[in-house]
Amino acid sequence: MATAEHKHPNYMAIFWWLAVLTVLEILIVLPWFRPENKLVVGVLLCALALGKAAIVAMYFMHLRFEARTLGLIAVTPLVIATLLVFVLLPDGFAVVKKTVGVKAATTEPVKH
């Protein structure tokens, strides 16, 4: 078994990047900074989280210095989780619709 040592990037620079991105995330949700549009907040927070996760995977987990196929193994769960949200949503909305329908039927006055 060979012991291959990785090239070590400047970890302190990566730490500061992660710290700054975390502060940005917190600033976005604070009342005096929070954008009015909820979609904008959601997109910004998701982008920052994915950016931070990518930095951790690329530099701390050394994915940047590994075979590309290993990167594919790492990305697969993210793709599966994203697809799963879209698979679950129609079912969830169907339950909501059904519940609303049942509530409406029970609150309607009975006609004799």
| Sites of contact with another protein (CB under 8 A) | 1-6, 8, 11-12, 14-15, 18-19, 22, 25-26, 28-29, 41-42, 45-46, 48-49, 52-53, 56-57, 60-62, 66-67, 69-70, 73-74, 76-78, 80-82, 84-85, 88-89, 91-93, 95-96
Instruction: Give residue 40's identity as a one-letter amino acid code.
Output: V
37, 100, 111 from 106: Cα distances, Å: 36, 10, 12
Q: Least distance to another protein from the beta carbon of 84, Å?
A: 4
Matching residue, tokens 């050394």: 62
User: Is the Cβ of residue 2 or residue 105 nearer to another protein in the bound state?
Assistant: 2
Contact by Cβ (8 Å): 45, 28: yes
